[in-house]
Amino acid sequence: MMEIALIAHDKKKDDMIRFVTAYKNIFLPHKLYATGTTGKRIMEETNLPVHRFQSGPYGGDQEIGALIAKNKLDMVIFFRDPLTAQPHEPDVSALMRLCDVYSVPLATNMGTAEVLIRGLQKGDLAWRSITRGETKND
């Protein structure tokens, strides 16, 4: 089981819902985390369980960043809106930087997210359990 964070800026929430709906069966066995409204919509529209944090501008990005810093997340799918200024842009940058520091796969658009989700389906992300210090008996 992988631990996956799902985040979407306002103009990208519909894309996130379509993406999670399309790959619902792949997401089903994994633990999902999301920022406020994104998580609520995913739960309502897919019936998948999601651990919800605060909305991004109210600290949700930082809460997810804390999980990354503790090496508790295996993948982040963050549909960013690059054309709209975000009031919490420093938090967004910090989250992306943490993914780089801890080698957490990060997709910021649907094309890359699809590559990651297909890799997840094939078991290509099993190396994450090693980076978390898990063994086959865990």
Q: Is 100 an active-site residue?
A: no
Q: Which residues contact 111 (CB under 8 A, 6 or more apart)?
A: none
Q: Which residues contact 98 (CB under 8 A, 6 or more apart)?
A: 65, 68, 69, 104
Task: Return the structure tokens found at 37.
Answer: 């409204």
- Which one from 14, 61, 91, 100 is the annotated catalytic residue? 61
Residue 65 near residue 98 (C-beta atoms within 8 A): yes
Q: Which residues contact 97 (CB under 8 A, 6 or more apart)?
A: none
Instruction: Please give the positions annotated as active site.
Output: 61
